[in-house]
Amino acid sequence: MTGVYTVSQINSYIKNMFVRDFALSNICIAGEISNCKYHTAGHIYFTLKDESASIACVMFASRREGLDFRLSDGQQVEARGQVSVYEKGGSYQLYVKSIRLSGQGELYERYLRLKQELEDMGMFDEMYKKKIPSYTMSIGIVTSPTGAVIRDICNVAHRRNPYTKLVLYPALVQGEGAADSLIRGIRKLDSMGLDVLIIGRGGGSIEDLWAFNEEKLARAIFEAETPIVSAVGHETDFTIADFVADMRAPTPSAAAELCTFEYELFERELSQRRDGLCSAFIHRLEYAKRLLENKRLRLLRHDPAMVLSERKRRLSDMLKAAQRAVSDKLRNRSLELEGYGFDMYTALKASITDRKHGLELRAGRLDMGSPLKRISGGYGYISDERGQAVSSVSGISQGMELRLRLRDGLIYSEVERVEKKELETDGSA
């Protein structure tokens, strides 16, 4: 032997041989799927086989983005990828990049091209999708008049809302002329002013569903004024109609669910809203009444008659208050005057008493010095003929008539002689 090699070296050498082979780097292999397993990490492991051979295959999770159907045993497929060696196990396998169902490759390629073309045109954009009404009362249905689809839609719609109007346009859903039949149905029902349209059929192969992948049907859906729900095939089936429609339903029954509202629930909600509206109306009415009453009172307060009456009342109150104030003032003044009068009376009475006593004293003194008193004691009071008192001999002449008043009468006399002399004062009078 010229040399000894390890297993790793041999497997690596063989892998390099596969890598350098251009034919094996991008090869498409047709066969039947068996031993298909989906790993939790997202990878798919399966075997492709024919009548006499098999090859192991793996499709990593990073390559599954373009896979729009689920792999299962027994499917005839065409897998494209690279054949290489798994060094650890010393086996070769196909590392799958893409996969499609056999016999449908051409149609599927057409489907993908049209899908990309319409998407680039913006026909799938959300900005063009119309909102499905929340409360639909009329639904147009474009589908086959026979089969499970129309029965499922009718059953679900009747169960949820028996008052919903259903209008069926019987159309071909597969085969030659199916797309044109579907287009006529859409345009007919669109002109009837219905709330929403449903187009659909049951599941099938890509050939069976091809009418829903026609560009002319996609344009008819896009141009319709009525919102359209697409319900084609099973949940895993996708058609061009699904992407261009305003909403996609996974099944025809689901489309009926989406397009009809539950009448019993609607009645309950309507009753609750009616009660709420009544309550709100009553509250609003009470508020309006209070507001009106406030405005009425404000208006009354500014009414000329009311203002005049109020001012009269206020004037009357002011007058009464003034009268009461004056009356109180007078009463207080009267009480004060009475007090002052009583004080003056007391003071005057005291003064009179004092003066009386003084007068009595002076009267006594006068009485002591009174001429009459003296006259009564033997003295007399002399006056001239005019009644003037004579207190001195001055001014008395001979022949003058004098009057002498005594206690019990008058004596008239004529002066015979006058003698002057100094009188001695005794200090008594």
Question: Is 326 part of a structural domain of the chain?
Answer: no
Out of 42-46, 105-109, 281-285, which region has the weakest mean confidence (pLDDT)? 105-109
**Predicted local distance difference test score (pLDDT) of residue 423:** 55
> Do 272 and 253 fall within a single domain?
no
pLDDT digits (tens, 9 = 90+) for 361-376: 887 777 666 666 666 6
Contact (CB, 8 A) for 414 and 399: yes
> Do 200 and 306 fall within a single domain?
no
Domain boundary among 261, 291, 308: 261
> Do 249 and 311 fall within a single domain?
no
The domain of 276 spans: 264-320
**Considering the chain, what percentage of its residues have pLDDT values greater than 90?**
35
> Do 250 and 166 fall within a single domain?
yes
| DSSP E strand stretches across 60-201 | 76-86, 91-101, 138-143, 165-170, 196-201
**Predicted local distance difference test score (pLDDT) of residue 219:** 95
Type and span of the H or E element at 65: none
Out of 45-49, 169-173, 200-204, 210-214, which region has the weakest mean confidence (pLDDT)? 200-204
**Report for 78-87, 201-210, 412-421: range of highest mean pLDDT:** 78-87
pLDDT tier at 170, thresholds 50, 70, 90 = very high
Question: Is 339 part of a structural domain of the chain?
Answer: no
Nearest 10 degrees: CA dihedral of 130, 136, 138, 143? 60
Question: Is 121 part of a structural domain of the chain?
Answer: no
> Do 70 and 181 fall within a single domain?
no
CATH code at position 227: 3.40.50.2300
Q: What's the domain count of the chain?
A: 4
**Predicted local distance difference test score (pLDDT) of residue 70:** 83
Domain boundary among 261, 290, 308: 261
> What is d(CA 143, CA 181) in angstroms, rounded to the nearest whole number?
10
Question: Is 365 part of a structural domain of the chain?
Answer: no
Higher pLDDT, 172 or 392: 172
> What is d(CA 268, CA 265) in angstroms, rounded to the nearest whole number?
5
Side-chain-side CA neighbours of residue 84 (13 Å): 17
